[in-house]
Structure 1
Amino acid sequence: MARILIAEDEEVLRSFVARALRLDGHETVEAGDGEEGLDQLRRDACDLLLSDIRMPVMDGIELAHRTADEFPATKILLMTGFAEQRERTDSLRKIVVDVVDKPFSLPEIRAAVSTALAG
């Protein structure tokens, strides 16, 4: 299965998603912001970055750009609960697999992760 980095500043949501993905057989690594996420990727590469867009320190847009530059084999899936944040992803179409709208159900995030990994 895949190694997935979950970068999300809401700890409860991050843990909830990580647990669900581990039940699907994936290995998960967690980060509370984009800078911590980039540090995690530099320590241990991942197959997929699942990142919130709006986070402190470094947002998901910058994290996506830096991940694509440093780790081009890592697939990127973003999450957001804000319509204006989704609009910011237009420039990322070549490097981001998809953007998942919050709130989402467990089946929705599992399907999005599965599709991102398969694509």
Structure 2
Amino acid sequence: MTRILLAEDDNDMRRFLAKALENAGYEVVSFDNGQSAYNRLNEEPFTLLLTDIVMPEMDGIELARKATALDPEIKVMFITGFAAVALNPDANTPKDAKVLSKPFHLKDLVDEVEKLLAA
């Protein structure tokens, strides 16, 4: 089963995202900040990191950098209302990372996750 690590500081958004991905057949482990998500990445492997960019303790860009340093095979998708931040070449985001801008429909999220995992 594909394992997704979800880092999103908005509690309602995190629950909605996790439920949509679980309903699509994915195993989801979720955290409300980047540092906790990174700690879990050190314990076990995940197929996909799905992360908000703006979060307390460790932002999503730093989390993605550290995640890909730990596991170069992990796929990364940012979910954000600040797409320009992720797309900024100076941000040093992982090269194949996908950005999904808020607001989005949960079906769009599942479709984009499926596309990224198939790539």
Q: 1:93 to 1:63 in 2, by over 3 A?
A: closer
Q: Tell me which residue corresponds to 1:114.
A: 114
The alignment of Structure 1 onto Structure 2 pairs a total of residues equal to 118
Report the Cα distance in structure 2 between the residues aligned to 1:3 and 1:49, rounded to whole angstroms.
9
**How many percent of aligned residue pairs carry the same amino acid?**
39
Per the alignment, residue 92 of structure 1 pairs with 93
Cα distance in structure 2, aligned partners of 1:30 and 1:95 = 22
Task: Flag as ranges the 4+ runs of structure 1 deviating above 3 A.
Answer: 86-91
Cα shift at 1:86: 3.2
Name the residue aligned to 1:60.
Answer: 60
Instruction: Give the alignment of 1:1-119 within 5 angstroms.
Output: 1-88=1-88, 91-92=92-93, 94-96=95-97, 98-119=98-119
CA contact (8 A) 2:78 2:86 kept: no
SS of 2:25's partner is coil
List runs of 5+ in structure 2 lacking aligned partners.
Answer: none
Query: Structure 2 length as normaliser, TM-score?
Result: 0.91
CA distance in 1, matches of 2:20, 2:52: 17
